[in-house]
Amino acid sequence: MKATGCLLALTTLAALASIGCGPARRGVPFGPPLHLTERQKQGQVLFMRECNGCHPGGAGGLGPGIANKPLPGFAMRTQIREGVGAMPAFTEQMLGDAEVDAIVDYLNALQETPGPL
Amino acid sequence: MRSDLLRRSALVTCALLLGGCFHLTAGDKTRKEFKPPRRIDPAAIAVPEGYRIDPIATGLTYPTGVTFDDQGTPYVIEAGYSYGEDFAEPRLLRINPDGGHTVVATGGHPPWTGVTFHQGAFYVAEGGTEGGGRIVRITPDGTLTPIVSGLPSLGDHHTNGPAAGPDGALYFSVGTATNAGVVGPDSANAESINWMARASEFHDIPCRDVILRGLNFTSADPRTPDPDDTVTTGAFVPFGTATTPDQVIRSRVPCSGAVFRLAPGATAPELVAWGFRNPYGLAFSPEGQLYVTENGHDERGSRPIFGAGDYLWAVEPGRWYGFPDFVGGRPVNQEWFKPSGAEHPPQFLLAKHPAPPPQPVAFFGVHSSSNGVDFSRGGAFGHRGQAFVAQFGDQAPDTGKVMSPVGYKVVRVDVTNGVIQDFAANKDKGNGGPGSHLGTGGLERPIAVRFDADNGALYVVDFGVMTVLGEDIKPYRETGVLWRITPTGKKEGP
C-alpha cells in the first residue's frame, strides 16, 4: 500500500514536471545571485567537479537541464547512486553520503532560484 | 522487493523528470542553418548588473585574438582558416576608434590563433595547418619575422598562445594531431577537417619516450576510392601503420599536446608540460601562475571518447597531464567514457604511464570548446584573480551529440574552488545557444577574451557564425565581432 502510494506520487510528479519545463539557467547574469548556505557552497564545489560537465551550471548540455525540475531529494539521491541512461552511477567511494546530500542541497537551491524572465 | 520497486520507480521518475525538455533544443535546425547578414544586438546579451556590453568592431573574418599596444589601441588577428576547410588570409588589424580597421600585417601558416603585444612588438601564434606552426614577431610597421618554426601542428589542433610570462619569456602550446592518439578518417573530411590530404604521414609525437600496448584500430580508408576499403592504425604513428605490444615510440621536442617556454632571445622552445589534448588558451594569474584551457576529447574517429569535458589546468613544470589515456585526470577506461553503441570503454594505449596526472582546476561543459582565457587584475572591473574564459560552443553532432547547446558564452571561474558562473551569455528562456540559433543578435562563438591594460574592460573576440550540419561545418566570413564589456558602476560580487 505504501509502495503504491509512493508510485502514485512519483507518477504525479513526473506528469507535473513534463508540463513544467522552464528555463534552466540560474544566477547572474540571468537573475538574482545565489545565496548559499555553507553546505550548499560545499555542494556547489562538488557539483562543479562531478556534474558540471554534463549539466553546465544546472542547464542542459550533454545531459538534460536539472535546475528547472522539481525533483525531490530522494529521487536525486537515487539517480546519483544508480545512474540513469548515459549518466554513470556514483559509488560511495566516489562520493560519500554527506557529499551527495550537499549536492542535492545545492540543486534544491538552484531550483528555488528564479531563472531568466 | 518493495524497496527495489520503489528504487526502480524513482529511476523511471528521474528519467521522466529530467527528460521532459529535450525536444526544446535538441532537434532545432536553426543551429544548422544561417542566412546572412548576422544581426548584432548587445541587448540580446545578458551580463551581470553593473556591466554593459558593446560591439566595437564588426564584419571580421574568423577573428581569434585581441591585444593592445602601449597606447591602449586594440588589435585583432584574423585566423585565415576555419574548420570547414575555408582558407582566407591571416591578418593583424588595428581597430580604429570608429570601428573600422587598418591592416598592419598579413601572413601565412594559418590559422593564426593568438596574439600578444610584448616589449614593443606583436607576437602571433601561427597555427600551421598549412606549413607547420610558428611563433612570429610583428613590429608595429608590419614587418614579420619568424622566431620559432616547424612546430608539429598540421593536424586537428594547432599552435596556440602566446602569453608573456612574468619572467619575460613567451609561453605557447601545440595541440595534438588527433582526437585521441590515433589518426582516423575523421581527419580526412573535406567538409570539416581534411589535414590528411595535406600531410598524410602526420601523427602525434610524444614529448617523452612512450611504450605502447600495441592496440590497433580498423577504420575506413578515405585514401582509396572504394568505400569498403579498410585500414589498420595504431597510436602515435601515421594513418595505415599498425603497432605492436611494447613498441617504443621515441620522443621529439617540439612535440604534440604540450606547453612550451621561449626564453627572451631564444629560438628553441623548452618543454614546460605535456600530455594535454588541445591546450588552447594560456594566461598568467596576477600571482604569476600559468593556466591553460584544454579542449577535451570528442566522440569521433577511430578512438571515440564519450563525455569528456573541457578543463582549466594550473600548469606545473615537468608534469604529464594524461593524454592519451586520461581525461580530466580520470582514466579513460571506465564506463563514463564509453561511446554510445560501444561494447567497452576506450582502453589504454600506453603500457606504462609517466606518472599519475594532476586534477583540473575547473571542469567545463562537455563540448563547450572552452578556449581563450584571461585573468582579472581587479581595478574597476572587479573579480581580481578570477579567470574569464571564452566558450566557442559545441560543434555537435560532428564532435558528438548533445541534448542542448553548450557554450557560446563567457564564463568566470573562481580558481580557488573551481566554481564556474556565466558572465556574458545570450538571453533566452531555454538553454542558450548562438544568437543565430536563438534568432537574436547576441553572441555567436566567443573564442578569446582579454582585459585591457588598466583592467577597465574585458574584450571578447567573437569568431562569428559557424554552423554544423552532420559532419558538414560551415563558417561564414565577415560575421566576426569584437565586443567590449565595461563596468558601469554598481556591481555584483567582489
Look at residue B430 and tell me whether its pLDDT is greater than 60: yes
Mean pLDDT for chain B overall = 93
- Return the CA Rg of chain A: 14
Closest of A37, A30, A77, A20 to residue A58, by C-alpha = A30
Report the percent of chain B where pLDDT is more than 90: 87
Q: Are A53 and B368 in contact (CB under 8 A)?
A: no
Q: How far is CA A2 from CA A9, A23, B317, B467, in A?
A: 11, 34, 60, 52
Across the interface, whether the CB atoms of A116 and B427 are under 8 A apart is answered: yes
With cut-offs at 50, 70 and 90, classify the pLDDT of residue A112: confident
- The pLDDT of residue A33 is 82
* Residue in B187, B157, B189 with CA at minimum distance from that of residue B173: B157
pLDDT of the residue at B22: 39
Residue type, B118: H
Q: Is the peptide bond before B111 cis (omega within 30 degrees of 0)?
A: yes
Q: Is the pLDDT of residue B290 over 60?
A: yes
What pLDDT does B293 receive? 98
* Substitution target from B389, B429, B443 for chain A, most A beta carbons within 10 A: B429
CA distance B424 to B2: 48
Per-residue pLDDT of B48-107, as tens digits, reads 999 999 999 999 999 999 999 999 999 999 999 999 999 999 999 999 999 999 999 999
Average confidence (pLDDT) over B210-225: 96
Domain residue limits, chain B: 24-190+258-487
For residue A86, name the pLDDT band (cuts at 50, 70, 90): confident
3-state SS string for B334-389? CHHHCCCCCCCCCCCCECCCCCCCCCCCEEECCCCCEEEEEECCEHHHECCCCEEE
Stretch 291-320 of chain B: residues touching chain A, C-beta under 8 Å: 306-307, 309
Confidence of residue B268 (pLDDT cuts 50, 70, 90): very high
Q: Is B157 within 8 Å of B278 (Cβ atoms)?
A: yes
Question: What are the CA-CA distances from residue A48 to residues A114, B45, B296, B322 (Å)?
Answer: 20, 24, 16, 20
Confidence band of B1 (pLDDT split at 50, 70, 90): very low
In the DSSP assignment, the letter for residue B301 is S
Residue A10 near residue B9 (C-beta atoms within 8 A) = yes
Task: For residue B25, give the C-alpha cell.
Answer: 533544443
Spatial separation of the C-alpha atoms in residues B398 and B382, rounded to whole Å: 38
**Partner residue opposite B418 with nearest CB, options A49, A57, A63:** A49
Domain boundaries, chain A: 2-112
- Residue B4's pLDDT is 57
- Cβ neighbours of B492 (radius 10 Å): 16
Report the CATH number of the B24-190+258-487 domain.
2.120.10.30
C-alpha radius of gyration, chain B, whole number: 22
User: How many other C-beta atoms can be found within 10 angstroms of the C-beta atom of residue B4?
Assistant: 9
DSSP B70: T
Contact status of B112 with chain A (Cβ, < 8 Å)? no
What is the mean pLDDT of the segment spanning B304-324?
A: 97
Residue that the C-alpha cell 579498410 belongs to: B230
Q: Select the residue of A24, A45, A56 nearest B406 (Cβ to Cβ).
A: A56
Q: What share of chain B in percent tops pLDDT 70?
A: 93
Q: Do B422 and A27 touch (CB under 8 A)?
A: yes
Residue numbers in B near A31 (CB within 8 A)? none
Q: CB-based contact (8 Å) between B46 and chain A?
A: yes
Identity at B236, one-letter amino acid code: F
- What confidence tens digit (pLDDT) does each residue in B405-418 have? 999 999 999 999 99
Shortest distance, CA A105 to any CA of chain B (angstroms): 16
Closest CA to B362 of A57, A78, A82: A57
Question: What per-residue confidence (pLDDT) applies to B20?
Answer: 44
CATH topology of domain A2-112: Cytochrome Bc1 Complex; Chain D, domain 2 (1.10.760)
Average pLDDT of span B119-134: 97
The residue of chain B with its CA nearest to that of A30 is: B46
Looking at residue B25, what is its pLDDT?
A: 40
**Residue reference for cell 503504491:** A4
DSSP annotation of B19: H
Determine the residue type at B297.
Answer: H
User: What residues in A contact B335, CB-CB < 8 Å?
Assistant: 88
Q: Is B419 on the interface with A (CB under 8 A)?
A: yes
CA distance B278 to chain A (A): 17
B-chain CB neighbours of A25 within 8 Å are: 422, 425, 431-432
CA distance A101 to chain B (A): 17
Residues constituting chain B: 494
Q: Which residue has the cell 590530404?
A: B197
What DSSP state is assigned to residue B396? T
pLDDT (tens digit per residue) in A7-57: 445 554 444 444 445 567 776 787 788 889 999 999 999 999 999 999 999
Cα B23 to Cα B86: distance, rounded to the nearest angstrom: 32
Q: What is the mean pLDDT of residues B199-222?
A: 97
Q: What is the pLDDT of residues B431-453, one digit of tens each?
A: 789 999 999 999 999 999 999 99
Per-residue pLDDT of B443-486, as tens digits, reads 999 999 999 999 999 999 999 999 998 878 999 999 999 999 99
Q: Is B429 on the interface with A (CB under 8 A)?
A: yes
Confidence (pLDDT) at B471: 79
- B468 closest CA partner among B432, B490, B444: B444
Helix (H, G, I), strand (E, B) or coil at A39: helix
- In angstroms, the Cα distances linking B264 to A65, A75, B259 are 48, 58, 16
- Least trusted range by pLDDT, from B4-13, B96-105, B379-388: B4-13
